[in-house]
Amino acid sequence: MANYLFLFLMMLLFWQCQEEIVLDRQSEDALFGKAFVLEEGKQLSVSGDGNTPLLIEAEEVNDSRCPEDVVCVWLGNATVSLKVSTAEAKSQSIDFCIGDCRPEPVRRKHAVNAKVGGQEYEIILLEVLPYPNTKNKATYSQVKLLVNKVE
Residue 68 belongs to some domain of the structure: yes
Residue 30 falls within a domain, yes or no?
no
pLDDT of 106 reads 93
**Is the model more confident about 118 or about 21?**
118
Give the integer Cα–Cα distance in Å for 126 and 36. 10
Under 8 Å between Cβ of 128 and 39: no
* 95, containing H or E segment: strand 92-99
**In this structure, is residue 62 part of a structural domain?**
yes
Q: How does residue 52 score in pLDDT terms, banded at 50, 70 and 90?
A: confident
- 125 domain-assigned: yes
Whether 67 maps to a domain, the answer reads: yes
CA distances from 120 to 45, 82, 85, 127 (A): 16, 16, 12, 22
CATH number of the domain residue 71 falls in: 2.60.98
**How far, in Å, CA of 140 to CA of 23, rounded?**
18
Model pLDDT for residues 102-134, shown as the tens digit of each residue? 999 999 999 999 999 889 999 999 999 999 999
Domain-embedded: residue 91: yes
Identify whether the C-beta of residue 51 lies closer than 8 Å to the C-beta of residue 142. Answer: no
Domain that holds residue 146: 36-150
DSSP-assigned states of every residue in 19-59: PP---BTT-SEEETTS-EEEETT-EEEEE-TTPPPEEEEEE
* C-alpha 6 chain-centroid distance: 28
Whether 20 is covered by a domain: the verdict is no
Give the count of domains, the chain.
1
Residue 7 within a domain: no
- How confident is the model at residue 10, as a pLDDT? 55
CA–CA dist 34, 22 (Å, integer):
8
